[in-house]
Amino acid sequence: MKKHTTSEAILLLKDGTVFTGKSLGRIGTTGGELCFNTGMTGYQEIFTDPSYYGQLVVTTFSHIGNYGVQSAEVESNKVQINGLVCKEFSHHFSRKTAEGSLQDYFEKAGIVGICEIDTRALVRHIRDKGAMNGIISSDIADIDELKRKLDEVPSMAGLELASKVSTQEEYDMQPAEIKYRVAVLDLGVKRNSLINLVQRGCAVKVFPYNTPFEEMEKWNPDGYFISNGPGDPAATTMAIESVKQILDKNRPMFGICMGHQMLAQANGIATYKMHNGHRGLNHPVKNLITGFSEITSQNHGFVVDADQIKNHPEVEVTHVNLNDNTIEGIRMKGKPAFSVQYHPESSPGPHDSTYLFDDFIALLEQNK
């Protein structure tokens, strides 16, 4: 068994609160916005989800690492988080299909983290005080020096991050039998969104975040998929422009998370930063059209302003969050465009919301 050395590590919060623990991953220092995820499984999907780019993820589930890592469980081709904060970090793993340990995976990816933290106390703290930046260090013990470094960590509000995670080059994915062509605007797309489209007979072409609408039109798509992605939706202006043109030309469109926020922004409806985002696998959402509820996977720190929707009669609210009544889904009246704030592509699950991909296929069929 490989021996692992751990050293003391510090987590310093923007409000001055200090937690001490042990290092995990690479020895070093890393900063970002602290956010917590309540999922009990799916840590590799979380760490590789581009929407977490630049963030320090706090896992509320107590054991992380115990089932190792495997290449089939990634949402993108690299680890996207800036750091991990957890309670028990397992250097050993037990699962037949695992290809390696989370520790080795993080070391290779250069990810710095901290474990043996009282994550319940930390989450209660952030929950009450609101999302804030933090810094983890396993090589600097001087709090004043860490404070100076923490001051350099940018605030998530106003930050454009799609450019950091989007593909540089267009690429395709195809099913055995092509029924539809879907142009994907990549603001940080998750692999499972593409898989869900391909499984339903869509040939997808993934375009960089700043591709003009006319450029995507040249490929002659049947519809557009606007992906999830990190950063402040209000700062993701190129994509807002593209969505405006998709709507102008009455093209079918489905947006997930950031893609949903783009549909709101394109209609002049603002988004704002939440006191704390929604992140986990167990968020109840009500579909106002069917009257049924669904348990959803979520990962967002911004949300569409419910009050502003009231002034836009052409936009209809289709889904609401049953915990806090925030907007979870919208659709356009008289245009083939809809979006949700949560994740129907979610892996490991839950899978209650995969019907939304079928709804998109139906929209493509109607508008063919």
Look at residue 30 and give its three-state secondary structure.
strand
Query: In the bound complex, what is the minimum distance in angstroms from residue 230's beta carbon to ligand GLN?
Result: 5
Q: Which is nearer to ligand GLN, 51 or 133 (CB)?
A: 51
Q: Look up 160 and say whether it is catalytic.
A: no
| First-to-last C-alpha distance (Å) of the chain | 58
Q: Choose, by CB under 6 A, the member of 257, 264, 361, 364 that binds ligand GLN.
A: 257
Residue 19 dihedral angles phi and psi, to the nearest 5°: -120, 145
| Set 116, 257, 260, 294: catalytic member | 257
Query: In the bound complex, what is the minimum distance in angstroms from residue 49's beta carbon to ligand GLN?
Result: 7
Query: In the bound complex, what is the minimum distance in angstroms from residue 58's beta carbon to ligand GLN?
Result: 15
Q: Which is nearer to ligand GLN, 30 or 55 (CB)?
A: 55
Using the rule CB under 6 A, is 229 a contact of ligand GLN? yes
Q: Look up 314 and say whether it is catalytic.
A: no
Cα–Cα distances (Å) from 155 to 52, 152, 271, 300, in that order, read 14, 9, 16, 15
Q: What angle do CA 334, 337, 343 make, to 5 degrees?
A: 145
Please count the other Cβ atoms lying within 10 Å of the Cβ belonging to residue 148: 11
Q: Choose, by CB under 6 A, the member of 84, 131, 247, 258 that binds ligand GLN.
A: 258
36 token code pair: 């917590």
Do residues 118 and 91 touch, judged by C-beta distance below 8 A? no
Q: Which is nearer to ligand GLN, 256 or 332 (CB)?
A: 256
- Angle, nearest 10°, between helix axes 258-266 and 237-248? 60
Q: Which is nearer to ligand GLN, 65 or 255 (CB)?
A: 255
From CA 252, how far away is CA 33, in angstroms rounded? 35
For ligand GLN, how many residues bind (rule: CB under 6 A)? 13
Residue 16, sorted as left (phi over 0), alpha (psi -120 to 50) or beta, turns out to be: left
Q: Contact positions toward ligand GLN, by CB under 6 A?
A: 51, 228-231, 233, 257-258, 277, 299-302
Which residues are part of a known binding site for L-glutamine? 51, 229, 231, 258, 261, 299, 301-302
Which residues are part of a known binding site? 51, 229, 231, 258, 261, 299, 301-302
